[in-house]
Amino acid sequence: MKSNNIKIIKLFLIHIFVYYTFFGFISEIIWNVARDTIFFRKEIITKIIVSSLLGITGMYDGYIFLLIPHILLFVIINRFFKKNILKSFFISSLFIYSFIYLNFEFDISNISLFSISSFEHATNCNIIYVMIPSLAISFFLNYIFMNKSKN
C-alpha cells in the first residue's frame, strides 16, 4: 500500500509540474508572438519557471486550487480501478479538465486566455489551444514514468 501512495504522489507531482509548466510556456509563446516581443527575457523565463505554482493557485484554469477536486475525483474513480492508478488518473483528469473547458465555453461566452487588439493585428487565444497540448504532454510523461516504475 505504501508503494501505491508513493506512485500516486509521484503521479500528481509530475502532472502539476509538467502540465502547468507547459501551460505557461505555450501561453507565453502565443502571447509574445502576438505582441512581436522578444521571448527570452528574464521576466518571461521567471514566469515559466513559477508557472506550476501559479497553476496550483488557479491563476491559469480559473478555479482556485483545482487540485483538490481532482484528488477527490481520483480517489472515487480509483475505487473502481484499484489496480490501475494511471487509468484512474487519466479518467479523473479528463472529467476535471473537460468540466473546466465546458464551463468556460457555455457559461461565460468565449473565454480566452488573453486578448490583444491593435491596429496591426487582433489575437484571441482560446484556452483549449493551450490546455490540450499541455494535458497530452503530461499524460504521455506520466505514462512513461509509471511504466518505468513497473519494471
Kindly report the pTM of this predicted structure: 0.64
Helix, strand and coil content of the chain, in percent to the nearest 5, comes to: 70, 5, 25
- How high is the pLDDT of residue 38? 63
- How high is the pLDDT of residue 69? 72
Contacts of 123 (CB under 8 A, 6+ apart): 30, 34, 114, 115, 116, 117
**Widest CA span in the chain:** 60
As to burial, measured by CB atoms within 10 angstroms (0-12 exposed, 13-18 middle, 19+ buried), residue 138 is buried
Q: What is the mean pLDDT of each run of 10 residues along the chain (151 residues)?
A: 70 80 77 64 73 70 64 75 75 76 52 45 60 82 74 47
- How high is the pLDDT of residue 80? 72
Every domain of the chain and the residues it spans: 2-150
